[in-house]
Structures are given as structure tokens and as C-alpha cells.
Structure 1
């Protein structure tokens, strides 16, 4: 097999490019699993560390043996499912008590080093294994009777080398970039740069949605290889799984106060061997974790596995996500308050005319606050659909179940209400104007509160918000309620991703060609990832080598696309910050939404030129003649150029230019227009001027 050496060489090169070099090489294993039905070795705890530079193997073991006699160890080492070496070891050469010969009973081995020759280590482990991040290295030890050759036991231990793609700094960096995208969107909206604000918002939401999909994949009850498992773990923060000591303290206290029983997997980690899922297992009883074949070995899978990897007790996962949601909500409110008081001060100090105009019209901060609450509901919907519904199945305490139900129903109702209002206004606009664009983009209140739902789509495809919400809901239900069957989760996920990909490719609902291209690419990547998940479920009973290769494909495909989305978002930051007129960077959208949108810079009094008029007026303080459209005494409006009017005509020597009587009034709401509402507000499809106001 020439594929595996080439694959390992590629990963080796990647490791040297992406990761720092450790001071010492090491391999370590912290748990074992049984690979035979009737094992004579039952493990409570095991720790093994191999230091090749020091020619030492450190070992600590606590377990029981159920065999008497001389045995031999057949040691197989697998890399990504490929058997790279096989060695036979005589335990009598290791000088370990109870192994020469093997004797029934407890076998405690304290944490001590054993000297091993460097040649022996080199023959067992290739050099590349010390550098590849999250290497899929598995050591299988088959214990056989020395005389008869009969198999006595079989155990497996996954090995790590200290390198991993799961780095907390990656999550923090992505979180900061996403938060900046949301803040920049709000600031640009306030300043009236609606076009680029829409693009920054779309790119931010696309990146966040893709990362949430990765996190939800990691919560499936599948057998993930280390590389795929740790990759999805990088995005756990997008669904509220964040480790903090004070969060765990609050969650544990609340559960005990409400009659629940906290789990103790993390606190007892030193007393039991905790393993991630190796193969499919049956349904679990309440508060019972499956064993790996005896002893105090525990298996965690799905959501519990992601919580365990984040050092969060399974009983605290939901409450942690709930508390993180409120922390983000408070942070969002503080940010809006800071913007409310900071922007006017900055405007006054900088003496920026455009910023002054944007803020002088009276920014609707209440509208922004309400819109931010709706936006927060949309951003947190994946975590409430998955973790909130999972809590109903988990049943940590009655109070936590009530909180989960309330939060799920509240966010669902908020998004449902917002979607209904958008549909209602769009239908009303289509009935009057044969186009939904006017109503959706001319009303600032609608745009501020519910615009985040539809501004990313073409005006004619506003309805795509409903499939998007249903898509998130179904994925959350699959994660929450199908934890007992990995195969069912993989098949359902594949169906959902295929349906969404087809809908996105056929409808192309997004605002422009570039947005559609990236959205279609994201849906295709998710569909291919779903195929990888189906392979991980072992439904095809494929060899381990195939699963290892698919894992590498899964990682590189998603990592490259995530990096592309990050660069895509950072470019929009550059245009938003560096360009004097950032909106000019982007073409006007084809649905002509800008013609109807009332930006903050337009929401000001129509008296900006009055000082200039006063300066050039040749008549001093003489009263100006009335406007040709001024109302008469009986309240009717007649033009001064009307032939029936006594003053028809305009004397350029005796009168000032006409001035509208509405100059001192603020702009009217588009829904309080005195024009006959049955007249179209935009040009009709026939191309004539029947739809133009006169």
C-alpha cells in the first residue's frame, strides 16, 4: 500500500508548517478498550508514556487479571487503519510482577519508568508518528497462551503525541472575528452604508452557520477518528459549550438545588478509564455510561463526548450552554449601549459631516435593540434545537427541563413571529406593487427589526427564510433525539443536507452571484461531509484504512473552506474600514432595494441648505412669496402655473424660487402616503412610466 506512506508524509509536512516543534518527542495513551468479547484483562486505569529520546516507557496500571500461565504479547500498531508493524513481546523481559507468569488477581503497577533500548522503540514506532497532529495511531495487544497459542485477551489503546488541531486559541480567534463582523454590521447600518453592511452581515452569518454545522456534526454519536473529532471540537463554542470553572460551579449548584444528581466523570477521571466511542453500542440507561468490556472503563459518545473533551460534566452541558447564551446577550446589550454613547462623542470630536448627518436624525436605538434580540435568537437557535431538546431526553433536573423547553419555544416563537411579519408585509407589497421589495426595504422599522432574516436573499426569494429555519430545526432534532443510533443520525443528516443543497443550487436565493457561489459551495461541502459521516457510522462495514483516509479528506476539505470563509470576511472588513466610500466597492443589487431603503443619512430634516439660501437671498428679510403648490384658503392645492390661477406664470425678477411647504417637516412614513395607494410605486414590468408618481 503506497497510499498510506504518502498520506503520512503529507501530514508530516503539514505538521512542520502549522505547529511548533516540541522540546521532546513523546507518545502517550490514557485509556484502553477491549477488542474481544471475553477479556481476561479488566482495566480500571492505565497511563503509558513513551519517551524515545530518554529510552524510557513510563507505566501506571490498575486492573485485574483472570488467567494463570505463561503468555506472549502480539503487538500491532495501526496508523489510519493501516498495520505498519507487528512485534511479539515476551512479558518476562519486562520485569513486571504478575506477568511472568500471568497470575489471577489485582495488578497494581505504580507510575515508574522502564528502560527500553532505542532500537526497540525505533522498530516499533516510525519517526513520523511523533509529529503528525492528532495522528490516528492505535496499538493493539493480543495476549495469547505461550504453549497452546490460544487467545487469552485483546486490548486496544489509541495513542497521542501531544500535537492536535484542537487549540483553544483557534476558537477564541474565530469568536473575535465573528463578533467583529456583527459589530461592524451594526455600525455600518447606523452610518447609512446599507449595501456593505448587508455584505458584511452575510459573510459573518455564512461563517458562523458553517462553524455551527461543524459543531453539530461533532455532537453526533458516531465513531470519529482523532483528527475529525478534534476538528469539530474547535467549534464547540458556537453552540455554547465553553469551559469555565465558575460556569461549572453555577451549573452544578443549580442542578443540586433543583433536585438533580450531577455526574462525576470529570472529577473521577483519575479513578476510571474514560474512552470516546470506538464502535456502536446499545441504548443507555439513565445516568449509566457503557463500559468497554469490564472494570471501570467508561465510553462517552455524541454530545457527552464533546462535553467531556471540553472538561464539562455531562449533567452540566445544557446549563453551560444556557449560561453562555445569557453572557453573550448581556455582552451584546453592553456593546449597543457603548455605541449609543460613543458614536455621538466621536462624531463631535472628529467633526465628520457624514457621521454628524447620520446621528443628527435620531438613530432608532430601540429598533436596533429589538432587532438585535431577534438576531440573537437566530444565532442561538442551533444550540437550543440541539442541546435544549437533548436536555428533555437527558432529564438532569425538572427545572433544567423547564428552562430547555421555555428557551426552545421562545426562540422558535420569536423567529416564527418575525417570519410571519416578513411574509405578511411582502404579500401586501406584492398585492399593491407586484413586487415585495418596496415594503420590505422602505420601512425602517421593518428593516431594523426583521431585516436580518431577508436582506441576504433576493427580494423575490424572501420566503427562503422559512426553509432555512426548518433546516436548522431538523438538524437539531436529529442531534438531540437520535443519539442512540449512529447510523440513523448519519442517514438522516445526509438526507437533510442533500435536500438543502438541491434547494440552494436550484433556487439560488441569495442577493448576488458571489453570495450564491459561496452559499452553494458551503452546502456542497456540508453534503460531502454528510457522506463522510455516513462512512464513519460503519454502515458499509469498510476497512479501517478507508475510514482513516476519509477522515483526512474530511479535515482538509472543511479546514480549507473555513479558512476561505475567514479570508472572505476579513476582506469585507478591509473595505469597510479603509475605503472612504465602502458602498461603492459593491455593485447595486439587482432587486433595486437601494431605491426604497431609507438610510440613517436620509433621516434628517430637509433644511440643510437653508443657511446657504439665506446667504444668497437678495431680498434680506422680506417675506418670500408662497410656493406655487401652497394651499389656498379653502384648503385646495392649485399650481401657480395653472391657467385658471390669477398668478399664473413666474416672475424671475420679483419672486424667489418656489419653496415646498413641507421643507420643515421630517420625512413621512411610507405607510402614511397621501398618494392613492392603488397606484404602483415602482415602474411596471411593461417598461412604461405608469408606475411613476406625478
Structure 2
């Protein structure tokens, strides 16, 4: 087999199976993505390997540098796998006339380097399917071994992923998702303002507290949906790379924001409070290669020293080389640039956060600081509004409808913070339990315990107060309708039950338990994919049954939307069963399932965005049904 032939065979066969997924791109380039050693005692090592194929001009460009401890004759063995299946294998002698490669016949002693560009014959370039350049996160791996001719001993082994540079992890997706959530938040505000104008000053406070869930999809529903997709990506199963990249887009909804400066500060805090930064810090992570359960890797920084063979020069003859510093061209390779790199096996929550450049032991502190920033922003924002209203009252005609907000500044802050706790409770449980089991800083563990206790205590307190109030109302009036009809009670507690019908005010309690159970089982069973998946399926299934049985929301549209969301959640976990390692499902099937899962979840996200746009028009026209009922009773 000619040198050019086997090189193009590598590209052709590695990419032909990639038709199992879909994607969009504009530049047709295939390239290696880092490399790693698959041999512990190599006599040949490389410091740099880069190769790319440009389909526009049909050329292969390569750059390689390495060292060899001695002169030796070798046999090269090339294997290519795609989606877990071996699709190409070839063995050749670099010194044979038909496969002669000067740089490997024999392998030289000392340092060597080569770089150049080689044109690819049209008959080989045409064999690469065009769809191969359009697929994000293709799962193809090339492995080359060099074996000593005399003993058969493996003297070098290199592995490298083949990628087209396209990925489902796109910043624009996160920005669009954040925009959808922001639109839902604005819609919530529009609904609240409409209620303020209609309801008067006393009702204004209740509107600010209880308007979140009246119109669906609300901010809490949309944000909860994004959190669910992010949490799906944290299960300890063999996700295909394309779905793992997709799920990473929604990490922001769980408080995971890549911020190197913040991570360095947390590293310093951990270092002073019993943390071990040796193998779990932002600096370590930036110099490591993440290895996932499916065998794929993610290079978080420049990768350097690897024990490897320099097979890339097999792609052609038109290149520059150097041996022991003697160049036969104008090579710019620097074979002396060596730094040890580390491969780290990751899965589950650690894999998810590490891909976002967050050390696993920093996870809780990252979310804690982000939430603290959000709370500070809320407090400052509400204070700013209050200052504006105070100046308005002093120098202008102050609207009566805004009197309630002006007088209930601290109550508004308390309601906003309680709303935030309710929104984040599930992921907060997740990160606190993860900190207890994976954290190393005693101070961070203490903060996790204190905040989890405080958050849980606040929700338990309100749950008990609402239950106790409802019980008193039933004893005095025969039912709990005053939870909705009495303005004072509504102002205090409606945040928890405004979206629900009168007979189902208590649904917020199983909803809180649902969030706790999801976060707890995901973190407590981290590393045990089957246990996690089955537990999540049971939890999601019970919640779906509850919604189907009760249909608790005041608006019919809210019932339909929330039931559809819950159905998709259940179906998503059913799909995730395919990725459980113990079931032994073929990687091709897993990839197809991952693409289907992306399609379903993306479709629902798009539907929610459309509904938000529609509701933005309706929000100003329809009055809160509970407030309307109070007005009809003459109590508004």
C-alpha cells in the first residue's frame, strides 16, 4: 500500500461512518485533535503532532517533532475505529519499496522534525463523503504502533482523535438559551406590571410575589427545563461526544460559569482551608487531557510530551525535515519544546464541570459565588427602584398603584431571594451533596452544609406556615380559598402556589420534594450510572403521574405545557438508559440515540421560545385569574 494511500484510507474510513449524525459547517477541514501515548515504555517520543486535511484545495498539512533513543528498524501498524467499531487496519514496512518512508527507515536516533503540505490525488479525495465535514463531534480515533522488526516489541504507540472542528458545544447556543430565559423573565415582569396597574397598591406587592407561574411557559418553567438538560449531562453514563457537548451548553442554568479568575480565587481559598491542589486545580486542569468513558478525549490546553511514533510524515514526500538539528529545508519545528501532560479519566459530574474548565472540588464554591453575585444584583436593583420611587414621590405625582412596592422594600427583597432559592433548590442539593463526597476544603464543606440547611429550612418553614394557615382556614371557613382571596395571606405566601388551582395549592410540596430527590440521587450515586438513571426515571415518572392525575394549574395551557415538558423529561431518561455501560449497547446505537435526544430537546426548547413570544402579546391583555376573582368579590 502506497504511503499516500494508507493515509487517505485513514481519513476516508474514519469519516465514512459519521453519517449517523447531523450538523452544519462552512469550512471543510479534517484534523487531528491532540494525541496521547498508548505505550508506557516507548523508545520513540514526540513533542508535537498536527495534521489537517483541507477538502477545498485537497491538501494534507502536517507538523511533527520528536525524539528517538536509538536507531531501529520498525514495522508500522495502523488501526482506525469509529463509534466503537474497528473499521480499518493495516500493517506495512516503512523500508519496503512500495511503502518506503525515509523518516522511518530506520527510525533515527536523537531529535527529528518534519512539516509540509502534500496534495491529495482526486481519486482519493472524492472518496471522503461530503457529509463527513458537516457532522459535529465525530467519534473517530486513529492508532499507530511501531514495532521492532527483530523482536516484535512495541517501541511506540500514538492515539489521536479525528475531528472536523465542529462541535455541538457552541457559545451561541448558550446565549440563545439565556435569551429565551431572559424573555421569559421579562414576560413575568410584564405580567406583574399588568397586575399592579389593575390591582392597586396593596395588590401590587402580591403581584410581585405571586405572578411568576401564572402564564406558561414562565421563567421558572423555562429555567427548570434548561437545568434538567444540564443535569442529564451529569449522569455517569457513556454519552456520545455529540450529546455531551450539547448538554454543556446549558451549564449556565445551574450556576456553572467558566471564569478563570474566579477559579484561581477559589483555588487559593481551598489551599488555605485544607484543599489539595495537586490534581484538582484550574492550573492542573488546563494542562490535562480529559478521557471520557467512551474513550474520547478533550484537550483543555496545549498538549506536550507524548510517547509516540511519527506516522504523519507518511502522508507525502514534499516536506521539510530535520534530524539532530540538521535540516534539509527551512523547518521551523522546535523539537526541544517538551512539557509533561497528564491524562485524567473523568465521568459523571466531574466530567461535566471539568469540560467547563471548573475543577470538581471548586464546583460548589463556584455556584455559591455566582448566586451571591446574583443576590447582590437583585438587592441593588430593587434598591435602585426604591430610590427612584422616593425621588418621584418627593418631586412628582406618585401613582397610587406603586405605593405598595415603595412601602415593602425589604419584603420585595425577601420574596426575590425566596424565589431564587425555590428556582435553584434542586441543583443546590446536587452541588452540596457533591461537595460533601468530593470536596477537600473543610470551609467549603461547612458552607455547603450551612447553606443547604438554611435553604431547606426556609422552604420547610414556608411549607409549614402555608399548611398551618390552610388548616385554620378549613376549620373556620370549610375550605382554604382564603389562601387566594385574602390579600394579606396572598402577599405572604402566593409565591409558592399562585399557579395552581384552589384545590391543589399543596402541589408545591411534592414539587419541592421532587427537586430534592433529583439533586440528591444524582450526586449521591455519582459514578454509578445505572443507579442514577433508574432513580431519575422513577422520580420523573412519579412526577408525570402526579401531573396527569391532578392537572393542578389554573390555566389549561399551563397544564398542557408542564405535562409535555414532563413527558419529554421521562423520555429523555429512557433514552439515557441506552448509554448505561452495563447494558452493553453498541456505540453506533448510542450515537443515534444521542442525536435523537438532541433533536427532541431542541424542538421543545424552540416551542417554548415561540410560546414565550406569543404570551408576551397576551400578557398585557389577560388579567391574573386569582386577582380577577378577588375583584369580582369586591376585595381587590
Confirm or deny: 8 A CA contact 1:29 1:47 kept in the other structure: no
SS at 1:58 equivalent: strand
Q: How does 1:238-637 map to 2 (within 5 A)?
A: 238-262=253-277, 263=279, 266-268=282-284, 272-278=288-294, 296-342=342-388, 356-360=399-403, 364-438=408-482, 440-576=483-619, 579=620, 582-583=621-622, 588=625, 594-596=628-630
- Is the Cα contact below 8 Å between 1:31 and 1:45 reproduced in 2? no
CA–CA separation in structure 1 for the residues paired with 2:111 and 2:465: 68
Question: Counterparts in 2 of 1:118-157, with a 5 A limit?
Answer: 118-119=121-122, 122=125, 125-134=128-137, 136-141=138-143, 143=145, 157=160
SS in 2 for 1:158: strand
The alpha-carbon deviation at position 436 of structure 1 amounts to 2.0
**Which runs of no fewer than 5 residues in structure 2 stay unpaired?**
1-13, 199-206, 297-305, 309-339
Larger helix share, 1 or 2: 2
Q: Distance in 1 between matches of 2:281 and 2:71?
A: 30
1:215/1:269 CA distance change after superposition, 3 Å = closer
Asked if residue 203 in structure 1 is aligned to residue 218 in structure 2, the reply is yes
Q: Which of 173, 177, 181 is the equivalent residue of 1:174?
A: 177
Q: Are the counterparts in 1 of residues 353 and 359 from structure 2 also a CA contact under 8 Å?
A: yes
Equivalent in the alignment of 1:74? 78
Equivalent residue, structure 2, for 1:684: none
Separation in structure 2 between the aligned mates of residue 42 and residue 464 of structure 1, nearest angstrom:
65
**C-alpha displacement of 1:215:** 1.0
Q: Is the contact between residue 140 and residue 157 of structure 1 (CA under 8 Å) also seen in structure 2?
A: yes
Deviation at 1:239, TM superposition (A): 1.3
CA RMSD of aligned residues (A): 4.2
Alpha-carbon deviations, 1:251-304, whole Å to 9, x = none? 122112223222456534675433233269xxxxxxxxxx99998422222222
Alignment partner of 1:28 out of 21, 27, 32: 32
Distance 2:114 2:517 in 1: 49
Partner Cα distance (1:109, 1:437) in 2 = 83
What secondary structure, in the 3-state scheme, does the structure 2 residue paired with 1:199 have?
coil
TM-score, normalising length from structure 1?
0.70
- CA distance in 2 between partners of 1:513 and 1:63 (Å): 70
Report if the CA contact (8 A) 2:213-2:220 is conserved.
Answer: no
Over 3 Å counting, the alpha-carbon distance change for 1:269 and 1:423 in structure 2 is closer
Alignment of 1:36-75 (within 5 A): 47-52=49-54, 53=57, 55-60=59-64, 70-75=74-79
Contact 2:212 2:220 in 1 (8 A): no
Q: Is the 8 A contact 1:133 1:164 kept in 2?
A: yes
Check whether the contact 2:44–2:68 (CA below 8 A) recurs between aligned residues.
yes
State the SS of the aligned residue for 2:554: coil
For 1:464-491, what per-residue CA distance to the aligned partner results, in whole angstroms no more than 9, with x for missing partners?
2122111111211222222222222222
Contact 1:218 1:306 in 2 (8 A): yes
Q: Greater CA radius of gyration, 1 or 2?
A: 1
Partner of 1:681: none
Q: RCO higher in 1 or 2 (8 Å CA, sep ≥ 6)? A: 2
Provide the C-alpha distance between the structure 2 equivalents of 1:121 and 1:252, rounded to a whole number of angstroms. 51
Q: What is the alpha-carbon distance in structure 2 between the residues aligned to residue 42 and residue 491 of structure 1? A: 47
Aligned 8 A contact 2:47 2:65 in 1: yes
Task: Give the whole-Å Cα distance in 1 for the aligned partners of 2:290 and 2:44.
Answer: 14
Contact 2:59 2:119 in 1 (8 A): yes
Q: Is the 8 A contact 2:31 2:163 kept in 1?
A: yes
- The verdict on how the C-alpha distance between 1:276 and 1:9 changes in structure 2, with shifts beyond 3 A counting, is closer
Deviation, 1:224, is: 1.6
CA distance in 2, matches of 1:548, 1:64: 39
C-alpha displacement at 1:444, in angstroms? 3.7
The answer to whether the 8 Å contact 2:436/2:445 transfers is yes
User: Post-superposition shift, 1:503?
Assistant: 2.0
Aligned pair count reads 563
Change (3 A) 1:94 1:114: farther
What displacement does 1:212 show? Answer: 0.6
Distance 1:265 1:410, change over 3 A: closer
- Identify which of 228, 244, 250 aligns with 1:235: 250
**Post-superposition offset of 1:206:** 1.1
Alpha-carbon contact 2:383-2:409 (below 8 Å) kept: no
Report the counterpart of residue 322 of structure 2 in structure 1: none
Corresponding residue to 2:192 among 183, 189, 194: 189
Q: Distance in 1 between matches of 2:494 and 2:68?
A: 64
User: Contact (CA 8 Å) 1:73, 1:91: kept in 2 or not?
Assistant: no
Give the superposition deviation at 1:392: 0.7
Deviation at 1:502, TM superposition (A): 2.0
> d(CA) in 1 for partners of 2:66 and 2:286?
11
Task: Report the TM-score, using the length of structure 2 for normalisation.
Answer: 0.76
